[in-house]
């Protein structure tokens, strides 16, 4: 079983196939979580199915996808979003060997509290410490001001742009650590 990545206010819990199935089936309470009404929507359900299929084909991929859970000592924990990497090192938009690309979503009710910044910082620290990864990417829509602010706070620098068939034009940012 994969361990969660703790921060001061959050827990980045693995979204393994069993957890994803519970989320897709609307049975989040059965795994001790609560999620926003109507979630996952069609877009996120597709994302979750894709991640489940990837993990079933290659179980080692489970460590790269996390749920953002508000840390609390209560019987039902609150799912505030999801964050993780597009895949293992080397799976990133620019196709750079050994680099990771981060992605994240914080649900509307939990935005504006710094959760995205805290989650991404924790993911980067974990990947650096556990996997010795030192090269990270993030791709952000040009009009996504909150996400652009997260990337700026974490000191990513713009290195290009790319076209995503699902999301359209994205600005590409990179971060090199120690």
β 33-34/77-85 pair status: parallel
The pTM of this model reads 0.94
Q: Which of 71-80, 112-121, 157-166 has the lowest mean pLDDT?
A: 71-80
Q: Are 61 and 88 in contact (CB under 8 A)?
A: yes
In this predicted structure, what is the pLDDT of residue 32?
86
In this predicted structure, what is the pLDDT of residue 178?
80
- Which residue segments constitute the domains of the chain, with CATH numbers given? 5-176 (3.40.630.30)
Query: What whole-number distance in Å separates Cα of residue 123 and Cα of residue 159?
Result: 21
Look up residue 72 and give its two tokens.
Answer: 């609390």
Helix (H, G, I), strand (E, B) or coil at 122: helix
In this predicted structure, the answer to whether residue 114 has a pLDDT above a threshold of 90 is yes
List pLDDT tens digits, range 53-79: 999 999 999 999 999 888 776 677 899
List pLDDT tens digits, range 41-58: 999 999 999 999 999 999
């Amino acid at each position: 079983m994969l361990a969660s990545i703790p921060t001061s206010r959050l827990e980045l819990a693995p979204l393994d196939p069993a957890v994803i199935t519970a989320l897709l089936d609307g049975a989040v309470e059965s795994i001790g979580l609560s999620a926003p009404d109507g979630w996952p929507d069609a877009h996120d359900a597709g994302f979750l199915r894709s991640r489940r299929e990837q993990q079933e084909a290659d179980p080692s991929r489970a460590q790269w996808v996390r749920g953002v859970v508000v840390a609390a000592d209560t019987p039902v924990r609150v799912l505030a979003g999801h964050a993780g990497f597009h895949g293992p090192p080397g799976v990133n938009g620019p196709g750079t060997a050994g680099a990771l690309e981060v992605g994240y979503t914080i649900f509307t009710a939990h935005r504006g509290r710094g959760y995205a910044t805290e989650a991404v910082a924790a993911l980067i620290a974990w990947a650096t410490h556990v996997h010795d990864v030192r090269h990270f990417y993030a791709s952000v829509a040009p009009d996504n001001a909150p996400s652009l602010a997260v990337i700026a706070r974490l000191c990513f620098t713009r290195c290009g742009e790319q076209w995503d068939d699902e999301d359209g034009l994205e600005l590409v940012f990179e971060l090199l650590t120690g």
